[in-house]
Amino acid sequence: MESKNFNKWNLFEVPDHHGVQNTGGRIGAALGPKAFRKHFDRINGVFDPNTHLKFKKSIFPITSDVKANHKLVIDELKQINHEKEISLVVGGGHAHGYSHLKGVCDSLKGKTVGCLNIDAHLDMRGCCDNIKSGSPFFLALSDQTISGENLVEFGIQTHCNQKSLFEFADQHKVKTVMFSELRGGRAVDRFKTEIESLSKKVDFIVLSLDLDAVEADSCHCVSAP
């Protein structure tokens, strides 16, 4: 891609792992943005994405109140994210899969937004005030931030999810692509198929990547490898 054709983009850092802590998982996701910057700032190729970085912000202050942290992220994304720009959100735990999605949807009122989540888990655990890292898409579907028909769960593994979570996904007509369907080098082609299919139904797509989906040997320090 030539530099002149690359859109301006925004970077949001969310140093928060309290959703993981509420789940009883291994904390550390709050350090994710710092680790990302360490490697990203070393990029030194012919094409430098830093030259197109329009806005960069680390969300602050982060407290133990996940709902309040969500509001901070939602409000920032709502103000900064625009139709012809790209917003990249790094960190913290996947509890913020909800705030990322909600913030983008709120910034694009009147537009239809879809989401493809690359994950081993459905992340549809029910929750109340004690928001957990496994609840982002339960929240997004429950408050109608996104329609289930516009959500694709990609790479889901059977042993990582209770039967009730699959039932919740089916109830909301969520497209679930199992990891077992992607073996034998079929992942890339299937990903392309799902993105193209989703793009025909929506105006914008949010990609969500949970590091739980990465093989444990390459990313062994996540809460649920």
Q: Which one is predicted more confidently, 27 or 198?
A: 198
Q: Which one is predicted more confidently, 206 or 52?
A: 206
Residue 102 pLDDT: 97
Q: With a cut of 50, say whether residue 165 has pLDDT above it.
A: yes
Q: What is the mean pLDDT of residues 155-180?
A: 97
Q: Which one is predicted more confidently, 92 or 197?
A: 197
Residues 126-155 have pLDDT tens digits of 986 678 888 999 999 999 999 999 999 999
Number of Cβ within 10 Å of residue 6's Cβ equals 13
Residues 76-95 have pLDDT tens digits of 999 998 887 889 999 878 99
Average pLDDT, rounded, for the chain? 91
Identify the CA nearest to 179 among candidates 157, 195, 199, 198: 157
Q: With a cut of 80, say whether residue 7 has pLDDT above it.
A: no
- How far apart are the C-alpha atoms of 29 and 90, rounded to whole Å? 10
Phi, psi of 28 (to 5 degrees): 140, -15
- How far apart are the C-alpha atoms of 154 and 131, rounded to whole Å? 23
- How far are the Cα atoms of 62, 78, 91, 217 from residue 15, in angstroms, in the given order? 7, 19, 6, 24
DSSP reduced 3-state for 111: coil
Cβ–Cβ under 8 Å, residues 211 and 219: yes
